[in-house]
Amino acid sequence: DTGVSQDPRHKITKRGQNVTFRCDPISEHNRLYWYRQTLGQGPEFLTYFQNEAQLEKSRLLSDRFSAERPKGSFSTLEIQRTEQGDSAMYLCASSHRDRVDEQYFGPGTRLTVT
Amino acid sequence: SQQGEEDPQALSIQEGENATMNCSYKTSINNLQWYRQNSGRGLVHLILIRSNEREKHSGRLRVTLDTSKKSSSLLITASRAADTASYFCATDAGGKLIFGQGTELSVKP
């Protein structure tokens, strides 16, 4: 079991650019979650998928954000026209259908928008 | 928005001492979980306590839950320098987790 992986681990981009992050969940985990964490705060829920279906989106997920999980395996989170306020750690987690309570987190992607 | 508050925001103790962190939440829950996060890294799941449980142990960790007061506490006994981290409580809100702001624990050798 290799755990949840995220790529890249760090991303520095200029304001206005688009960025895309990838998350690979633990195999056979059917649920995948995205969270955002700013310095000194706890993670905040963004969205989650059950298989390929996106079941819930937070109001934090503005129109500039889009998440996909096309084949029910890995997921991508894209941010268009990045703003400095998007600077944060983006965390991905996954859970198994039989233990949905337990979410396993990846190491996160730290985004810095300059 | 955050579900609840954690107290204290920061805690500094000596190795070998016990550390207690508290969490309060606002709505009814199915379960409450505690996570640890080392500086700049992902979260590690520590323990889950269900709404019908009052106390749970795992190694040096002891968690209590008082649903009437909407509060939980995490006790780490015989702390070690390696326990230095941020600790978050999280409540399950129909699949997604709602986290508190965390307690930053520093254990000095």
- Nearest-Cα residue of chain B relative to residue A97: B95
Q: What does residue B70 show for φ and ψ, rounded to 5 degrees?
A: 50, 55
Identify the contact set of chain A against chain B, taking CB-CB distances under 8 A.
4, 31, 33, 35, 40-45, 48, 55-56, 58, 89, 91, 93, 100-108, 110
Question: Mean pLDDT over residues A43-59, rounded?
Answer: 93
CB-based contact, B44 to chain A, within 8 Å: yes
The answer to whether the Cβ–Cβ distance between A56 and B95 falls below 8 Å is yes
**Which residue in A42, A44, A101 is closest to B31 by CB distance?**
A101
Q: Report DSSP state, residue B5.
A: E
For chain B, 109 residues long, give each residue's pLDDT as a single digit of tens: 455 688 899 999 999 999 999 999 998 888 999 999 998 678 999 999 999 999 999 999 999 999 999 999 999 999 999 999 999 999 987 778 999 999 999 999 9
The answer to whether residues A18 and A65 touch, using CB atoms and an 8 Å cutoff, is no
pLDDT in tens, A12-25: 999 999 999 999 99
* CA distances to A67, A83, A88, A109, B67 from A15, in Å: 20, 5, 14, 17, 45
The answer to whether residues A110 and A13 touch, using CB atoms and an 8 Å cutoff, is no
pLDDT in tens, A79-101: 999 999 999 999 999 999 888 88
- Environment class of residue B82 by beta-carbon count within 10 Å: exposed (0-12), middle (13-18) or buried (19+)? exposed
The answer to whether the Cβ–Cβ distance between B99 and A40 falls below 8 Å is no
CB-based contact, B51 to chain A, within 8 Å: no
Residues of B in contact with A35 (CB under 8 A): 97
